[in-house]
Structure formats: structure tokens, C-alpha cells
Amino acid sequence: MKNLSLLLGNHALLRQESFGGTLFFIRTGKRTYVNHEEFASIKASGKIPTALADEMGSASDSVIVVEPAQLPEKNFSAPDTVFLEVTRTCNLMCKHCFNQSGKALPGELAQGQFEAIVDDLAESGVQEIRFTGGEPMMLPGIVSLIRRTSSLGLRCSMGTNAMLINDRRADELKAAGLHAGIVSLDGLEEKHDLIRGHSSFRLTLKGLERFRARSIGVRVNIVVMRSNLMDIPPLVASLAKQGIPVFMRRLILSGRACTVTNEMLSAAEYADLRTALKSLLDDPHGLVDGHYLKERQITTRIPLPFTRKECSAGQRGLIILPDGRIQTCGFLGPLGETSIGRLPAETLVDVWKRLNSSTHIPMLECNLDPYNDSTTGPKTNCLAVALSSQKHSNESIAIP
């Protein structure tokens, strides 16, 4: 990927695959798949066919074509999104934090090493980098990393509590090319502050509004728990009314969340929540979504030679920890998953090749059937949910 810094704007990324290609629209974050003939046509013309752009509801001024060194037959040629955890430092001590953020992790990488990782991810065919933590705004060089990511043509998003987003920082993030802020809210003011910390609710809302005022895309993530269950319908309704997308995440018992096992919802409680949110979940604008709340049927525009899984771990996503270790999912690491590589000591291409030839993911998937056969909660395809439940019940589990 050369000279990508010259190709900015409303563009798309087209990554070659064994079946054709993965087409990703940077500004909207929408993704689809094309066959070999379509890949060749788009590569030759540098343009997305009008019919395809209309089908996706997205347009682009240009197309950046990425041809990875390897095209595995049973997986994508690179992860779509890499979650780059730039620090474990955080300004909050949330009760349910899955990775126990607060203090820095020993051996956190230097700025230059993070820059080398960003370059390597772009070269490998990754289409989006999501900066996470801890709280990524605690990293002094975060704006520089965002600028580097967007200048390489990738979509750049950030998972944040938004409390540190003042006007100056919001302006810097906008100028650097941040496409989206994924902001955490876990209830109305009283409940949110009880879960996340005193006065955090108001500061988070201010940061969220500063993103919106600068046309930086936003989405609110809510972790669904028994203690905030009554707050969720009014909170989600208020956000949707403002046109703010919402995703409700399951609680996963890892990190500090291991101390709040009573917060896990049963299948019946999820059914009640689904009923309470029915009109919002059914709304054609699609602003409201969440785990166990919608019937999911994964369909693709063209047939793929392998199954596109609902769980993205090791197929469409990876996480890089602050010390450079790579794991398939941020939730699996705290549950005991071994790292599958380390950057920048090696390249993502090498790590991806090794993962695709290993039994790492199939071994983790062995935990799904025992969990789904025994759970009183909703059945799942999430490797972390199955692993955490069996770990807490002291059953035999597979942790590659």
C-alpha cells in the first residue's frame, strides 16, 4: 500500500480474497463482498459500479486496492478490524471492566512502536483500527496515531468514556481524521455513576455532544446488567430519538466483572427486555441493536467458501494489547487465552498465517456446545461467554 497518504477523502478499500474481495466504505463503515470478476473490474477502473454503491447506500470518490501476500481459502485474507489497546491506564474504575483497566500494563509500548504497528496493519489489509484501552485519551500520542491511521487510508474509530473530550481535544481529533467515537453509557445518571464513577455521566454526555457537534460519528455502547435493566428502555429511547445508534452488549464475566456474577441476565430477563424495546428494535432506521435482542441471520451478497461467523474472534477481528501481544478477542485474554503473536516484533501477515494453520479457534469453539446445552441464559456463539461461564463453574475448558 504505497502513497495512501495522497488518497484521502470519501474513499473505499477493496481487499483481495480467495473468493474475490472485501469492499469497505470508509466514511459509512459499511462492508460487502464481491466476486473475482467484480474485483478485477473495480481494480481496473478505480470506481465502484453505481448499482453496487446504490445497493450499499454508500458512494466513494476513489478506491484503494489492497492485495495481501496470502489468500487463505477458509478465512479472510486479513482481519477487518483490529482493536489496538494503546494503554491499560484509565480515569475510571468501572465495576464490570473486563480487563481491569486502571493502571498501566507493565511493558506498554512506546509511541514509535505503536506507529510501526499502525503501518504494518495498513500494509496487511486491515480496514479499520479501533483505538481502545483503558482510556485511549490518556495516551499523550493518541491524536498522532489517529492522524497516521487516517492518512494511510484506514477507517479510524475510538472506544472511549468521552470524559476527556473537551473542545480543544475534539477539534484535534476531528482534524486528525477520527471517523467515529464509540462511547460507553451504562444507565441514566444515578445508575451510570454508581457503575462507572461519580459525575462520569455528565462528563460523558458532554464529550458525546462535542463529537456530534463536529460531525464525528458516534455510537453508544451499553452493558446490560440487572442493576441497570430498568434504565435501559428510557435511555435507549432518548438516544434513538436524537438519532444516536445504540448497541447493547452482554456482560462477560472476566476481569472485575468476575465480582458481579449476580448481574448476569437470564433468558427470561432478556425476553422481557426484548419486549420492552420491541418498537425500537423493529424500527427500519436500525439505530438500536444488541446481543440476544434481535434474531440474527448472517447473509452475504455472494456465496463465501467458508462460514462467516457471528463471533468475529480470529476471523474478522483481533486485539493488540498495550505490550504488543495479540489475542483473538479482548474478552478472551483475561479468561486465559494465550497470545498468538506479538507486534511489532513480527508482522501481522505472519501471525495471521500461523493462526489460519492452527487449531486455536476450533479448540475454543469446543466450549460452545457444552455451554449452550447447560445454560439457563440465552444460547450464544460468543466464545468468551462460553469460556467465562465454564471457567466460573470449574468445568473442563479449552484455552489454547
CA-closest candidate to residue 162, choices 190, 198, 137:
137
Residues 163 and 16 occupy one common structural domain? no
Residues 159 and 274 occupy one common structural domain? yes
How many whole angstroms separate alpha carbon 172 and alpha carbon 108?
24
Given a contact cutoff of 8 angstroms between Cβ atoms, the answer to whether 245 and 236 are in contact is no
Per the domain annotation, does 357 fall within a domain? no
Residues 111 and 173 occupy one common structural domain? yes
**Confidence (pLDDT) at 1:** 43
Per the domain annotation, does 355 fall within a domain? no
Per the domain annotation, does 249 fall within a domain? yes
Q: What is the domain-level CATH number for residue 123?
A: 3.20.20.70
Q: What CA–CA distances, in Å, run from 20 to 2, 167, 352?
A: 22, 44, 19
Per the domain annotation, does 174 fall within a domain? yes
Residues 175 and 37 occupy one common structural domain? no
Beta strand pairing call for 128-132 and 81-85: parallel
The residue out of 258, 290, 322 marking a domain boundary is: 290
Residues 99 and 211 occupy one common structural domain? yes
| Phi and psi at residue 225, to the nearest 5° | -140, 165
How many whole angstroms separate alpha carbon 32 and alpha carbon 55?
10
| Phi and psi at residue 180, to the nearest 5° | -155, 145
Beta strand pairing call for 341-342 and 325-327: antiparallel
Residues 87 and 192 occupy one common structural domain? yes
Residues 36 and 90 occupy one common structural domain? no
3-class state of residue 162 by DSSP: coil
**Confidence (pLDDT) at 393:** 61
- Alpha helix (H) ranges present in the chain? 36-45, 50-56, 111-124, 142-151, 167-176, 189-196, 200-213, 232-241, 267-276, 278-282, 348-356, 360-365, 368-374, 383-392
Residues 170 and 223 occupy one common structural domain? yes
CA-closest candidate to residue 75, choices 356, 310, 319:
356
**Confidence (pLDDT) at 374:** 85
Given a contact cutoff of 8 angstroms between Cβ atoms, the answer to whether 86 and 136 are in contact is yes
Hey, what's the torsion of the CAs at 92, 93, 99, 104, to 10 degrees?
60
Record the pTM. 0.94
How far out from the chain centre does Cα 28 lie? 15
The residue behind cell 489496538 is: 84
Boundaries of domain holding 19: 4-66
Q: What CA–CA distances, in Å, run from 216 to 22, 129, 138, 239?
A: 25, 16, 19, 16
Per the domain annotation, does 96 fall within a domain? yes
Residues 145 and 238 occupy one common structural domain? yes
State yes or no: cis peptide before 79, omega within 30 of 0: no
Mean pLDDT, contiguous 10-residue spans, the chain (400 residues): 48 97 95 98 94 87 93 97 99 96 97 99 98 98 98 97 98 97 98 96 98 98 97 98 96 92 91 96 93 81 94 96 97 92 98 96 89 84 83 56
3-class state of residue 34 by DSSP: strand
Residues 57 and 149 occupy one common structural domain? no
The residue behind cell 496487511 is: 124
Widest pairwise Cα distance in the chain: 57
How far out from the chain centre does Cα 295 lie? 20
Per the domain annotation, does 314 fall within a domain? no
Residues 22 and 125 occupy one common structural domain? no
If one counts the domains in the chain, the total is 2
**Confidence (pLDDT) at 385:** 86
Residues 255 and 223 occupy one common structural domain? yes
DSSP string, 261-301: GGGPPPHHHHHHHHHHTHHHHH-TT--EEETTTS------S
One-letter identity of residue 195: I
Residue 58: Cβ-neighbour burial (10 angstroms; 0-12, 13-18, 19+): buried
